[in-house]
Structure 1
Amino acid sequence: MNYFRKLMYVFSALFFGLTMFAQENNNLNVYAITNVNVVPMDKEEILEDHTVLVENGRITAVGPSAAIQLPPNTVKIDGQGRYLIPGLTEMHGHIPGEDRPQYVEDVLFLYIANGVTTVRNMLGNAYHLKVRDRVERGELPGPKIFAAGPFFSKDLAPTPEAANREVRRQKEAGFDLLKMGSIDKATYGQMAKTAKEEGIPFGGHIPVEVGLTGALDAGQRSIDHYDRYVEFLVPEDAKTEGVSAGFFGSGLMLLIDKSRIPEAVRRTVEAGTWNVPTLSLIEHLASPEPAAQMIKWPEMKYMPQDVLEGWVNFKNDYSKREDFKPEATKALVELRRELTKELHDSGAQIALGSDAPQFFNVPGFSLHSEMEMMVTAGLTPYEVLVTGTRNPAFYFDTPEEFGTIEPGKRADLLLLNANPLENISNTQKIHALIVNGKLYDRETLDRRLLEIERN
């Protein structure tokens, strides 16, 4: 190392040390992102040369830089030439269980390292409530968590009476929502009735006996993976005897009638039910790329080896199933893209989710891939960003809390090096972020990512 490089290294280390000291001794947690291009997400516009002031984890001022007075001891983050957007929300995420605490910490950080500041955890237990609360108290770095309870299966709720008790138990335990699974029609009906009485939403899958219309009529808050839409598109007089529905309807694709799509869309809009598409779930399955190559993607280095092996085995095994037909699965990919565009353009509620860490979806990284898939489906970058920022806040009935850059909102902020409205892939060019009142610069993010890679 020559003298100049040594000198630069010393100055860099000194600057980083002083910055971290300022942050740690900034008792009021006051930050200012200065001279930045703000993408507020309340409408499609860019507020040039603005300053956003953050105090105690809340946005307290947004305005032209020349008009913003900064309090003493403010930590400044240079936004010159950069773009500020609200943090992203993963509306179908998963957090590992208590048997792998290090993996839990790694997953939480992978989310925030990719600008995901809120996660709807779609399957959980009492342990996840503890994780949620630790993150909330600032004891554990991670996104804000909305926690679903245990999966409503036939084992958990075999009867309507059992469903009634389980809904009340999960509500009392403090879960934020109920995760739907494979229960019979009568049990589902009782679950929906009790959930309405208790004021707790339910979402996820749709039991086969209930079907799309049954879930919409019951007020299911969200449908994930476009579950049961394919079945709705199959005409009643179609010969389905002995035909397996396959993975999210892939086995029925040769029987569907696309002229029924407008009716499915109309019913969805009228019900006010949200959809979380998780396009990547099927696109990864349909991809001709071998599983052994998929686990060589750059982000795969952050996942445990046994998880990667599980993904490879699943894809390889699925390709051998009798109900797996490559042409039908390819058609399913196209249908899901078409549904995304039709539902969006018709005013249906859509929220961003990728189902991570599942099936080649690395937490955080997969949400950016999902956004690119939604652009491919026909949405603009701004429209896609709405599904991952403003829309989730409305889903949770807390639009005053997050989702846009306005005074009073939670300061979940993502500072980018390029304009995401020009290209959605620019959401990956993260310079810094603020989550739960804490600033993470690029060096801090990279250092922790390296630790996860080496775990």
Structure 2
Amino acid sequence: MNRKRPSCLMSYAKILLILTLGLAACTPPPEELLIENVTIVSAHLDAPSAPQNVLIRDGVIAEISVEPIAAGRQAQRINASGRFLAPGLMDSHHHVAFVPGLGAMGVTPASDHPALLEAYMAQQPRSLLYYGVTQILDPAPLLAWREFEAAPLAPDLMRCGEIPNAAGGYPLNQRDDSDALALYPYRIEGEATPEDVVARIAADGGVCVKLYLEDGFGAETGWPLFDADMLARIRDAAHAHGLPVIVHANAIDMYQIALDARLDILGHGLWNWQWPDGEPPVVATLDRLVEQGTGYMPTHSVMAGLGGQLRPDALDDPQLADVVPAALLDWYRTAEGQWFADELAADFPPDMPRGEMADIFGYGVGRAQRATGYLHAQGHPLLLASDCPGSPTFVNQPGLCTWREILSLNEAGVSLQAILEAGTINPARQLGLEAEYGTVEPGKIANLLILSANPLEEVTAWDRIETVILHGQPLSRQTLAVQ
């Protein structure tokens, strides 16, 4: 499978945009890059390696040796003594078409602010790279994936084909009819059968199929869902094309439907424990998940982001300035920019302080962390997945979301080894991409990170990136921040 390499081929207008933003000049990757005296940390190794030399040629790892490697005279060299080389991270649930604080591209309020939208789309891929995310899976890319891929520097993008429920179901019921027609091209309706729709997804380059098991938010229920027969037909059609099925689900009853249908990956952590009678069967449901080998995306950042949106000091976080264009950050501080926080607050008593509202969302984070910790204790592999931004939350920003998800996994008791695997080899295996990604080995795409600390000794190593290597092109981390 071919992946996009960084390119300097762009229009004159795009060059002007880059110069205006003050971004680092785009230079082609060297034909050869030699990283010398570096300690390799990779899921296929039992322990960090002795100092190694790593030769990258034409964007692919060509050779790894403890002995000196002869490189061409024009090779670029990095002396990485005392540094650690890890695979680039994969965020297995990131939405390129949803703008924090503005919502989905193409509809209001995002469509009302074209200048802010343009600034965000220019910075989004760089913000992901800033936090070491060199691959993403977007399970619902809408129409923005082409623009994302056209950026001069961007993580490798894998995407699903998104099949919404029938009319009246989620997510179609969140859009008006004209939006739905444009945003959801893979609808099963009229003469279009599940087999037809899945075949189109495969032909269009999708690496997975995305479904929804969501019958209502909060106490609301009754939204229509696909029945067992339809789920089975979609699953079988997807598997015939070699595509896993990812399902949006976060509640016990929705999990059980997904497990009954033997769908492949649960796209959210189990944070909704509502149950009509008696003790909710959380452990029994998670045990079924382990027994069936179902993929699991914890996505703690969804609930954390909703709570964070309501905190009065949310925009004071200095990390936001590294990844959010200044004009957009200023807009968040306006009355208009607070629209989603006001919408969330409207569901609470009017005299309740917003900090208390935020704490209530913390219960959902806690349940998600407990479920994740339980699965980890059973030895079940996890997938690093932020679902950034998850909703129009301005605190959930690309890259920063992924970093916070790593911290939350650590808080949930997930070991540093399992976090490494969750962000590298596990998603590669789950999506059938392990021949290209996931470890530091010859033949793999050279999407790598040079860290100043060992990620198997301290979780903060993932925020101590010195150099991001994208298809063999070394990028100083600081050049990827908002300038």
Q: Tell me the TM-score normalised to structure 2 length.
A: 0.73
**d(CA) in 2 for partners of 1:307 and 1:170?**
36
User: Following TM superposition, by how much is the alpha carbon of 1:87 offset from its aligned partner in structure 2, in angstroms?
Assistant: 0.3
1:53 maps to 55
2:226 maps to 185
| Matches for 1:133-172 after TM superposition, within 5 Å | 134=150, 140-150=152-162, 152-155=164-167, 157=187, 162=192, 164=194, 165-172=196-203
User: Following TM superposition, by how much is the alpha carbon of 1:178 offset from its aligned partner in structure 2, in angstroms?
Assistant: 2.3
Indicate whether 1:336 and 2:368 are aligned. Answer: yes
Change (3 A) 1:428 1:308: farther
User: Following TM superposition, by how much is the alpha carbon of 1:290 offset from its aligned partner in structure 2, in angstroms?
Assistant: 4.6
Whether the aligned pair in 1 keeps the contact of 2:39 and 2:49 (CA below 8 Å) is yes
> 1:344 is aligned with what amino acid?
H
Find the partner of 1:356 among 388, 408, 431: 388
| Matches for 1:374-453 after TM superposition, within 5 Å | 374-442=409-477, 446-451=478-483
> 1:185 is aligned with what amino acid?
F
Give secondary structure in 2 for the equivalent of 1:407: coil
2:254 maps to 211
**d(CA) in 1 for partners of 2:299 and 2:252?**
23
Whether the aligned pair in 2 keeps the contact of 1:269 and 1:349 (CA below 8 Å) is no
Whether the aligned pair in 1 keeps the contact of 2:250 and 2:272 (CA below 8 Å) is no
> 2:34 is aligned with what amino acid?
A
Whether the aligned pair in 2 keeps the contact of 1:350 and 1:391 (CA below 8 Å) is yes
Give secondary structure in 1 for the equivalent of 2:370: helix
Give secondary structure in 2 for the equivalent of 1:264: helix
2:64 maps to 62
Find the partner of 1:292 among 308, 312, 320: 312
Give secondary structure in 2 for the equivalent of 1:230: coil
Change (3 A) 1:447 1:409: closer
- Aligned length, in residue pairs: 397
Give secondary structure in 2 for the equivalent of 1:291: coil
1:8 maps to none
2:177 maps to none
**Residues 8-53 of structure 1 deviation map (CA, whole Å, 9 limit, x = unaligned):** xxxxxxxxxxxx99x7594xx2111111121122134111321111
1:317 maps to 343
2:129 maps to 112
Indicate whether 1:34 and 2:75 are aligned. Answer: no
2:377 maps to 345
User: Following TM superposition, by how much is the alpha carbon of 1:295 offset from its aligned partner in structure 2, in angstroms?
Assistant: 1.8
Indicate whether 1:195 and 2:238 are aligned. Answer: yes
Whether the aligned pair in 2 keeps the contact of 1:40 and 1:405 (CA below 8 Å) is yes
**d(CA) in 2 for partners of 1:268 and 1:219?**
10
Change (3 A) 1:352 1:176: same
Q: Percent identity?
A: 23
> 1:95 is aligned with what amino acid?
V
Unaligned residue ranges in structure 1 (runs of 5+): 1-19, 239-254
1:279 maps to 300
User: Following TM superposition, by how much is the alpha carbon of 1:386 offset from its aligned partner in structure 2, in angstroms?
Assistant: 1.1
**d(CA) in 1 for partners of 2:301 and 2:146?**
28
Change (3 A) 1:71 1:320: same
1:264 maps to 285
Q: Tell me the TM-score normalised to structure 1 length.
A: 0.78
- CA-based RMSD: 3.1
1:71 maps to 72
**d(CA) in 2 for partners of 1:328 and 1:125?**
31
User: Following TM superposition, by how much is the alpha carbon of 1:203 offset from its aligned partner in structure 2, in angstroms?
Assistant: 1.2
1:249 maps to none
Whether the aligned pair in 2 keeps the contact of 1:204 and 1:223 (CA below 8 Å) is yes
**d(CA) in 2 for partners of 1:326 and 1:347?**
32
**d(CA) in 2 for partners of 1:266 and 1:274?**
13
Whether the aligned pair in 2 keeps the contact of 1:152 and 1:178 (CA below 8 Å) is no
Unaligned residue ranges in structure 2 (runs of 5+): 1-24, 98-104, 112-116, 168-183, 215-223, 350-355
2:102 maps to none
Give secondary structure in 1 for the equivalent of 2:417: helix
User: Following TM superposition, by how much is the alpha carbon of 1:102 offset from its aligned partner in structure 2, in angstroms?
Assistant: 4.3
User: Following TM superposition, by how much is the alpha carbon of 1:389 offset from its aligned partner in structure 2, in angstroms?
Assistant: 0.9
Whether the aligned pair in 1 keeps the contact of 2:247 and 2:258 (CA below 8 Å) is no
User: Following TM superposition, by how much is the alpha carbon of 1:128 offset from its aligned partner in structure 2, in angstroms?
Assistant: 1.5
User: Following TM superposition, by how much is the alpha carbon of 1:140 offset from its aligned partner in structure 2, in angstroms?
Assistant: 2.4
Whether the aligned pair in 2 keeps the contact of 1:116 and 1:364 (CA below 8 Å) is yes
User: Following TM superposition, by how much is the alpha carbon of 1:190 offset from its aligned partner in structure 2, in angstroms?
Assistant: 3.7
Whether the aligned pair in 2 keeps the contact of 1:184 and 1:210 (CA below 8 Å) is no
1:92 maps to 93
**Residues 151-203 of structure 1 deviation map (CA, whole Å, 9 limit, x = unaligned):** 51334646596452433332322222222235523244443343233433221
